[in-house]
Amino acid sequence: MKKITNILVFTWFLCLGTVMNGSAQLQINSGSQYLMNIAKDMSTDFGDFTNIFFFADELASFNAKEGVGTVRWKRSVLNSRQAFNTNTVVANNLNMLDFPGPAYVNDPEYKFSIDFISPRAIRVRMLTTPVEIKEEASLMLAGTPGTDKSWVVSETDKEITYKGANGSLTIEKKPWRLVLKDAQGRVMTKTYCSIDNDESQVKAIPFCYIKRGSDNSRSINPVFSLSPNEKIFGCGESFTSLNKIGQKVNLFVTDPQGPETDQMYKPIPFFMSNKGYGMFMHTSAPVTCDFGATNIAVNKLFMADEKMDFFIFFGEPKDILNEYTEIVGKPTMPPLWSFGTWMSRITYLTQEDGYNIAENLRKHKIPSDVIHFDTGWFDEDWQCDYKFAPSRFSNPQKMLDDLKNKGFHISLWQLPYFTPKNVYFPELIEKNMYVKNGKGDMPYEDVVLDFTNPATVKWYQEKLGGLLKMGVGAIKVDFGEAAPYNGLYANGRSGLYEHNLYPLRYNKSVADITRELHGENIIWARSAWAGSQRYPLHWGGDAATNNNGMLGTIRGGLSIGLSGFSFWSHDIGGFVISTPEELYRRWLPFGFLTSHTRAHGAPPTEPWLYNEGFVKAFRESAELKYKLMPYVYAQAKECTEKGLPMMRALFVEFPNDPGAWLVEDQYLFGSQILVAPLFESGTKRNVYLPEGKWIDYQTGKVYANGWHMIEVGEIPAVILVRDGSALPHIKLAQHTAEMDWSQIELKLYAADAAEATGLVCLPADNQLHQVKVTVSDKTINAGTLSDKTKLKITN
């Protein structure tokens, strides 16, 4: 009997999926979940035999000049097919069984349109219903997309082609297909249609939408081809391998508890290919991207949305990121002080703690600008009431003023959830400021603030505003991943469309009130969706305190940078347990050579709690960044103008170097500094160097391109500078307000280069200046910058 029971349990687990995969496998075929807020896997619905499938069959009508027409969708059904002892799935045409027959159409025709946004961007929209809802302003978009007239159209009886300076889009009429080509006429990708299955015994479901047997709701599944050696990047802050080919990626905001699984705090419905194109799936509904995971030739984009609204971009990675962020928005510059050191832990509990941390940072001469109070500045830990606990903060206003005079900005933790014991719980219920369930009651035990309700936003911003008016510098925008998926929101929409959008609404609410009161664009957020990059900055969550936590963190930082986010940070050394000193030392240069730098963890992270040797190591990494602050600030400014990440994958700068596309444990800090952290104990590592010469920042040794085993310097990381760089430095200061921007030191890094170049941006005018130095005679050409600061050259 025991053996039979085990067989039954095993069979049930096979049906359920791999439970301990750390991902979206805790599901049954309908997509229902066994644990709340595990990512939705939308692909399951597209294998359900009770659903009706409609395949994009032919272009029924189209006005090529206007870019508008209709596509006929062929009604189909899935059947199983036996081949000896193997069962496969095939799709067959279906004659409609609906009643009354004359009221419906067997193969419906729905609107399909093309818009041209710029010479590198087009928009493709497809409906799966005759009803076109009036389009409202999208929170994901920075504004109304532009219109470009440079694309030239031509038409034959078989196809319509729109050709631009950077590529072309062809619409094949029957069978309906979209073909994207680059400027040289090479096919980058094309939609997958039924006839493509003739080439293989493995039958992939082509471009389609489904009508569910369970409730007649619709979802669309755009399907595109993949090429041999194609690589896909993006999709948000993903902690798995950077290249997404062979992966199934669920775009559903979750709290993964750290950067070690395939779940994401910050999924972004955008990706780019090394073939020269990128796609932004303009939706807030869940998406499952099957990038060749179940069929190596096919990119299946399983969407919960019933409509397809894609922006498609042509070009190299820099072009694509610039075009994408033109659509969803670029950030304005965060304040200078935010680029300094943030000192934090869970948690500083008292006013005395704040003074002690400030005193120790200055005593140990560790340059720093921010002290963060996490979950315990209220009367009761984790119970946010927006008030400093009177019993532990006798005069918080004086503390804020005193610390500001010492060069410290204060950051405060909070969250958008209120437990039944929270003092504001009754008020929020009474005023209907929470997300509701279908009955109008609470979907959870906790109140979840409803940011679609203007009254909620006003109430919330008033609470934060009181703190900001006291002089608090930044608000930590923690959590935000658990907006009820089955909830009903004040704007009339359900969690299907609001769950993923919740972090963006949350980020925006905090950023708006901070900008209104301080004139600064700064938050410290964990969750995000497309559009959140306008509201810097975001950090990588609760990393494991081990080597793999560090690896997942760097992957997450690179991936979010390839998804349109310029600024990002993480918890140096990991979050969970007290960081072993050896690991902490290796993590330090990675943490400081990131756009924003924070030491934070559940246990204490302060360097003076280790030993004097570690204090010295911490200080050296901090001093490195503070001396490089003119470089950091100028590179950040360029990122805000071009949609680039401060922490960027090598191929962003070197798209024509095949090796650069393979590296995921090194990065470029800005455009001129290459960083290769140590992920294991030791003093050296293999480093891949793209084209050109590279000069070791710490030793001056010169390396050619290719693979090298390189010893780290006194700061335990490989830090190299691109040949022909003029890196601006500044005299060391203990905080950014003390920095003397009237004198900038240019350090030249030149091996073969006859000219060294760099960027400088003075905080006083916030303008980007290019500096050129002739290496032979040290002649400086800096334009009007020479009138604003004194430039001094050193080798």
Q: Which two tokens stand for residue 244?
A: 């997404």
Reduced to 3 states (helix: H, G, I; strand: E, B; else coil), residue 507 is: helix
Q: How far apart are CA 674 and CA 718, in angstroms?
A: 8
Q: Which residues contact 307 (CB under 8 A, 6 or more apart)?
A: 125, 126, 127, 128, 220, 283
- CB of 211 closer than 8 Å to CB of 54: yes
Long-range contacts formed by 157-163: CB under 8 A, 24+ apart = 160/59, 160/62, 160/64, 162/67, 162/114, 162/116, 162/122
- CB of 329 closer than 8 Å to CB of 727: no
Cis amide prior to 100 (ω within 30 degrees): yes
Reduced to 3 states (helix: H, G, I; strand: E, B; else coil), residue 320 is: helix
Strand segments, DSSP code E, in 203-286 are 208-211, 218-221, 223-225, 232-236, 247-251, 267-273, 277-281
Reduced to 3 states (helix: H, G, I; strand: E, B; else coil), residue 618 is: helix
**Dihedral over Cα of 132, 136, 140, 146: its sign:** positive
Q: Which two tokens stand for residue 179?
A: 């073909």
Catalytic site residue from 237, 255, 369, 542? 542
Neighbours of 678 (CB within 10 A): 23
H/E segment holding residue 72: strand 68-83
Nearest CA to 208 out of 176, 237, 231, 236 is that of 176
Helix H, strand E, coil C: the string for 197-219 is HHHCCCCCCCCEEEECCCCCCEE
Strand segments, DSSP code E, in 656-705 are 667-669, 673-677, 684-689, 694-696, 702-703
Burial category of 680 from C-beta neighbours within 10 Å (exposed 0-12, middle 13-18, buried 19 and up): exposed
Nearest CA to 96 out of 117, 112, 81, 75 is that of 75
For the question of residue 481 being annotated catalytic, the response is yes
Catalytic site residue from 290, 306, 481, 664? 481
Torsions phi, psi for 252 (to 5 deg): -150, 120
- CB of 375 closer than 8 Å to CB of 347: yes
Catalytic site residue from 45, 369, 478, 571? 478
What are the residues facing 62 on neighbouring strands? 69
Position of tokens 């994401």? 264
For the question of residue 542 being annotated catalytic, the response is yes
Give start and end residues of each alpha helix (H) in 598-731. Answer: 612-627, 629-642, 650-653
- CB of 525 closer than 8 Å to CB of 538: yes
Give Cα 391 to chain centroid, integer Å.
40
Long-range contacts formed by 103-107: CB under 8 A, 24+ apart = 106/75, 107/54, 107/57, 107/72, 107/73, 107/74, 107/75
Residue 758 identity = G
Enumerate helices (H) and strands (E) in the chain, giving the number of each: 13, 44
Q: Give the C-alpha distances (Å, rounded to integers) separating 274 from 228, 258, 526, 651.
A: 11, 29, 29, 9
Catalytic residue ranges: 478, 481, 542
